[in-house]
A and B are shown apart, each in its own frame.
Chain A
Amino acid sequence: MFPVKWRAFGVLCAITAASVTVSCGQTGSAGDAGSVSEFYRGKTLSIIVGSGAGGGFDTTARLVSRHIGRHILGNPTVIVVNMPGGGGLVAANHVFSAAPRDGTAIGLFHEAQMMNQLTGGEGVNFDLRQFNWLGSSYDDPNVCIVRTDAGIGTFTDLIGGAKAIAVGGTGPGSNTYDAPRVMAAATGASMKAVAGYPTTNDVRIGVERGEIQGMCLGWESVKSASGQWLQDGYAKVIVQNGVERNADLKDVPLAMDFAKDDQSRMLLRLVDAPGAMAKPFTMPPGVESSRVELMRKALADTYRDSAFLEEARAMKLEFQPKDAAQIQQILNDVLATPPDVAAKYREIIQP
């Protein structure tokens, strides 16, 4: 009995020792190789997502994680790590100052954090302009959809107060709430935003129940989650935000066309800015530039990859990526907003 026990113990020790040697050997050889070509071999690349499993950010991250490895020299393992909290704030802070800077960490958190930084939100311990942006995923202008039976012909019906609608949203800081608030304030439309729904899915059910007549959110989300409504004529898009009309929505007026004054136009552009670089991937500041470039190219290649595109099509996702320079431009513009406009924005989105 005793010798058997000892032998088993010996075997276990041997296995343990062997595994330790192997794993240490791995990290040892990879750590000192400075060259880009060999760096990612045998490494694990983590995509840190600023929301929980199952949401839009998570879906995008997992889709990309299944394909990007093939486009990186050394074919690293790519995993998704969920880090929800504060609408992406936790993940943004983490990627900015705590995540490894050797090129093994990628962040994907809510682009609306730019408004948080602009309005001096609490808990912002980053400067978005200092991140190493890789590229965004979608062009996602805010649109408002309304049930057809609500009796709203065009957006003009809402201006002047002849007719009024209620749209549902989750709460301040989310485009389902902020966008209709700003659009209503900038155009004078009688559009009341109701906050407090737990998720956008609950807002959708609220529309079906009829307690609210519509909702405002990104066009990409409308297409993938409520496309059937539009196809069936159950709901229609009455207004879109942005500087020019989206290719899918040539007949839908821009909120900008109804803006009351210059400041209103600035506010509308402001609330539209995050949607223009929706779901952006980034690396922490301070990552070696060769590795950032490699990853930028890998992401761009992934977006052109036919297997990737086929999967995205099945999931009703249409990628319209923006590159690092475009993202940097949007951030510079937004963060240079005059303080009085930023203050006005903050005031509007307060309930």
Chain B
Amino acid sequence: MLAPHTFGIMLLGIGVGLIVGILPGLGGAATLAMMLPFVYPMDAISAFAFLLGMHAVTATTGDITSVLFGIPGEATSAATVLDGYPMTRRGEGGRALGAVLFSSLIGALVGAVVLAISVPIIRPVVLQLGPPEFLMLTVLGLSFIVSLAGRNLIKGFIMAALGFLLAMVGLDPQSSIQRFTFGQLYLWEGLNVVPVVVGLFGGAEVLQLMMTKHSIAQRRGDERLSGVMQGVRDTCTHWGLTLRASAIGLGIGVIPGMGGAVSQFIAYAHAQHTSKHPETFGKGNVEGVIATGAVNNSREGGNLIPTVAFGIPGSISMAILLSVFLLKGLVPGPAMLTRNLDVTYAMVWVIVLSNIIAVAISFMFLNQLVRLTYVKAVLLVPFLMVLTAFGAYTAHNSFNDILVMLVATVVGVAAIRWDWPRAPLLLALVLGDIAERYLFLSYSLFEWQWVWRPLVIAFALVTVAGLLWPLIRGRRHGARPVRHRADLPITIGLLLVAAWVLMQAADWPFRTSVFPLATGGLLLVLTIAKLLGYVRRALGSLGGSSRADTHSYVGRSPRAGSEDIASGSADDLPDVFATASGADWRSAIAWMAAFFLLLWLVGALIAVPLFAVAYLLRVARQSVPMAGTYAAVSWLFIYGLFDRALRIPLPAGVLFS
């Protein structure tokens, strides 16, 4: 076990992690790098107690903003939004947080235990997995687009194709030729997932809140069912899912080179596959929350395995941790099992303890945090605006990050308003680059011989089985997809995008152009198919009146009768975008535009308090003292904490540079 002073240092790490993890603008890796100087004087075990304690907490707290405000702190918390936020809107924020935190804890414990027992045997296993196997895992991940697409398969595939195209932006990994960069240096490295995630989910939700007259939680949940402990009970009820999701996180975490966001979506899709109520996913099914929580923290344990066993880090955070190994004179590899076994086991203990403590501390504050979702939503708007802006800005400390976030917000709003599923786009964006990279790498290394590798064939069979499974289980009986008038112009727009992509890619050398051509071609075919559907319907309904937009919305009409509260049905959540008036739209967009324009012109230190005063006075109709206090606190917060204490780079404002 740990010595008392080591335990104290771990508590300190957990404390720092809690504060920093909840704040926007600092990723897990950046926090670790910032805290490195403090570990120089410590002994090895204390250093890991501090850093791992902190790291474990930041992995957990990232999910809290996803659940409460629909704003993911990191790319690895994106899938938590899908069901966690609808639960909060339904008044079950406590339950969702309870579920995500408790399943995180279980995931972390599973990860730690496996780390403890697997170090001796993991080396040969990991070495079996090369680029061809990575490629097949990516394909397996992509096959989940089908289930993430929900009711409207063709829309889901179109969004996935769009995500793929976005993944192609930047220098192509084979020959460093620019693709879709519009001559912008910023786009050379490709689109960073974080601003896209923050906009697609968070930005769109903030805009929605600006138009609502109520609180985030639309109603108070039944005390019995909406509390934190209910979430804990849910996790225990779905213990099989919790363990399977933990296993997925662990498996993908062990493999260096597969990103964290991938594992979360795979676990989420797996939960949907195996659920008795797959149709309620995306509307606040607690199973989706449990899976995404468990997978995140078990992955951290998995990530440690290659770092300890090979001395080769699987992620940036682990690279920083590795530098601590070296600094403390520890050589990762077999010696971690013999000479340094105490360090290895201390690491396991730290992961176990810090997760338990972090979850316990979080539970103490949960009810206070959940209360925020009962406050009038407009009061939260300035705060959430900062959350999205700083969250996006972490990617490159560039205002371009915020622009990407805003574009993603527009896409996200359109997707919500007209029922285009967002998850396939994100999954394709995350996996597209990996798929292309490992396909060509596999070919360069083995030509086409790689398809005969046993594990490649095994993964291919799993993928096919996963695709056939829903068919065997019987067709999903969902409601018929709703048609919208806007779908037609959107489809035509995307058709033009596809044509433009094909024209651009036609001039590129073979390897650079294969993926863009294939994806562009796919998008073209899909949009044409969708347009043909319109033509057919138009011919069929020449006599009758158009049904578009007069059709009753699945998302709007409260369904009477038997609502299974325990398994979660969110069909009665108000669709704010569909019901808001033109004036509401104009006002919300204008205020949002004003904030970001102000941020660009004068920087965060002035823009945030100024916006807070104006917004609270004009929109939220608060008193002058209240608005002044809000602004002053926000200024002190940003100046004192971000600028002075943490030294996080903030948008400085073009007028002053």
Q: Is the CB of A53 within 8 A of B625?
A: no
Interface stretch (choices A83-91, A246-254, A292-300): A83-91
A-side contacts of B127, CB under 8 Å: 208-210
User: Could you tell me the distance in whole angstroms from the C-beta of A42 to the nearest C-beta in chain B?
Assistant: 12
Q: Which of A84, A196, A224, A311 contacts B396 (CB 8 A)?
A: A84
Q: A93-B185, A196-B173 are in contact. Are A315 and B323 (CB under 8 A)?
A: yes
> Which B601-657 residues sit within 8 Å CB-CB of chain A?
625-626, 628-629, 632-633, 635-636, 639-640, 647, 649, 657
- Number of A-B residue pairs with CB-CB distance less than 8 Å in the complex they form: 153
Q: Which of B186, B188, B635 contacts A16 (CB 8 A)?
A: B635
User: Could you tell me the distance in whole angstroms from the C-beta of B640 to the nearest C-beta in chain A?
Assistant: 8
Chain A residue at smallest Cβ distance from B316: A54
Q: A15-B636, A83-B396, A314-B326 are in contact. Are A53 and B185 (CB under 8 A)?
A: no
Q: A123-B185, A202-B256 are in contact. Are A211 and B397 (CB under 8 A)?
A: no
Q: Complex: how many Å from CA A23 to CA B333?
A: 50
Q: Is the CB of A211 within 8 A of B396?
A: no
Chain A residue at smallest Cβ distance from B647: A79
* Residues 192-217 of chain A, each 1 if its beta carbon lies under 8 Å from chain B, else 0: 00111110011011101111100000
Confirm or deny: A13 has a beta carbon within 8 angstroms of a beta carbon on chain B. Answer: yes
Q: Complex: how many Å from CA A350 to CA B174?
A: 10
> Which A41-90 residues sit within 8 Å CB-CB of chain B?
44, 52-55, 58-59, 62, 66, 77, 79-86, 89-90
User: Could you tell me the distance in whole angstroms from the C-beta of B432 to the nearest C-beta in chain A?
Assistant: 14
A-side contacts of B319, CB under 8 Å: 54-55, 201
Chain B interface size range: 35 or more
* Residues 305-320 of chain B, each 1 if its beta carbon lies under 8 Å from chain A, else 0: 0100011110011011
Interface stretch (choices B30-38, B93-101, B361-369): B30-38
Q: Which of B178, B396, B445, B657 has the most chain A CB within a 10 Å cutoff? A: B445
User: Could you tell me the distance in whole angstroms from the C-beta of A95 to the nearest C-beta in chain B?
Assistant: 14
Confirm or deny: B454 has a beta carbon within 8 angstroms of a beta carbon on chain A. Answer: no
Q: Is the CB of A123 within 8 A of B632?
A: no
Interface stretch (choices B286-294, B436-444, B469-477): B436-444
Q: Is the CB of A83 within 8 A of B130?
A: no
Q: Is the CB of B174 within 8 A of A204?
A: no
Q: Complex: how many Å from CA A197 to CA B310?
A: 18
User: Could you tell me the distance in whole angstroms from the C-beta of B31 to the nearest C-beta in chain A?
Assistant: 9
User: Could you tell me the distance in whole angstroms from the C-beta of B42 to the nearest C-beta in chain A?
Assistant: 12
Q: Complex: how many Å from CA A307 to CA B398?
A: 34
B-side contacts of A206, CB under 8 Å: 130-131
Q: Which of B327, B396, B633 contacts A85 (CB 8 A)?
A: B396
Q: Is the CB of B636 within 8 A of A16?
A: yes
Q: Complex: how many Å from CA A196 to CA B130?
A: 13
Q: A85-B396, A316-B326, A351-B175 are in contact. Are A228 and B29 (CB under 8 A)?
A: no
Confirm or deny: B176 has a beta carbon within 8 angstroms of a beta carbon on chain A. Answer: yes
Chain B residue at smallest Cβ distance from A174: B176
Confirm or deny: A12 has a beta carbon within 8 angstroms of a beta carbon on chain B. Answer: yes
Q: A15-B636, A202-B256 are in contact. Are A172 and B176 (CB under 8 A)?
A: yes
Q: Is the CB of A54 within 8 A of B441?
A: no
Confirm or deny: B446 has a beta carbon within 8 angstroms of a beta carbon on chain A. Answer: yes
Q: Is the CB of B130 within 8 A of A209?
A: yes
B-side contacts of A204, CB under 8 Å: 312
Q: Complex: how many Å from CA A240 to CA B629?
A: 65
Q: Which of B306, B310, B331, B444 has the most chain A CB within a 10 Å cutoff? A: B444
Confirm or deny: B329 has a beta carbon within 8 angstroms of a beta carbon on chain A. Answer: yes
Q: Complex: how many Å from CA A77 to CA B643?
A: 13
Q: A53-B316, A211-B131 are in contact. Are A198 and B437 (CB under 8 A)?
A: yes
Q: Is the CB of A62 within 8 A of B174?
A: no
Chain A residue at smallest Cβ distance from B639: A19
Confirm or deny: B257 has a beta carbon within 8 angstroms of a beta carbon on chain A. Answer: yes
Q: Complex: how many Å from CA A186 to CA B398?
A: 41
Q: Complex: how many Å from CA A5 to CA B541?
A: 64
User: Could you tell me the distance in whole angstroms from the C-beta of A12 to the nearest C-beta in chain B?
Assistant: 4
Confirm or deny: A122 has a beta carbon within 8 angstroms of a beta carbon on chain B. Answer: yes
Q: Is the CB of B185 within 8 A of A86?
A: yes
* Residues 1-27 of chain A, each 1 if its beta carbon lies under 8 Å from chain B, else 0: 000011011001101100100010000
Q: Complex: how many Å from CA A209 to CA B445?
A: 12
Confirm or deny: A165 has a beta carbon within 8 angstroms of a beta carbon on chain B. Answer: no
A-side contacts of B331, CB under 8 Å: 228
User: Could you tell me the distance in whole angstroms from the C-beta of B543 to the nearest C-beta in chain A?
Assistant: 58
Confirm or deny: B40 has a beta carbon within 8 angstroms of a beta carbon on chain A. Answer: yes
Confirm or deny: B189 has a beta carbon within 8 angstroms of a beta carbon on chain A. Answer: yes
User: Could you tell me the distance in whole angstroms from the C-beta of A177 to the nearest C-beta in chain B?
Assistant: 9
Q: Which of A62, A196, A210, A351 contacts B33 (CB 8 A)?
A: A62
Q: Is the CB of A5 within 8 A of B178?
A: no
> Which B422-449 residues sit within 8 Å CB-CB of chain A?
437-438, 440-441, 444-446
> Which A154-197 residues sit within 8 Å CB-CB of chain B?
166, 171-173, 194-197
Q: Which of A9, A54, A122, A224 contacts B628 (CB 8 A)?
A: A9
Given contacts A202-B256, A208-B310, A350-B175, 15 further A-B contacts (CB under 8 A): A9-B628, A9-B629, A54-B320, A62-B33, A62-B36, A81-B397, A82-B397, A89-B188, A90-B396, A123-B185, A123-B188, A196-B173, A198-B437, A209-B127, A228-B311
Residue numbers of A with Cβ under 8 A of B are: 5-6, 8-9, 12-13, 15-16, 19, 23, 44, 52-55, 58-59, 62, 66, 77, 79-86, 89-90, 93, 98, 122-123, 166, 171-173, 194-198, 201-202, 204-206, 208-212, 224-225, 228, 311, 314-316, 350-351
Can you report 18 residue pairs joining A to B where beta carbons are below 8 Å apart?
A: A6-B625, A12-B632, A12-B636, A23-B639, A53-B29, A81-B649, A90-B185, A123-B188, A171-B174, A171-B176, A196-B441, A201-B313, A205-B306, A206-B131, A211-B446, A228-B333, A311-B327, A350-B175
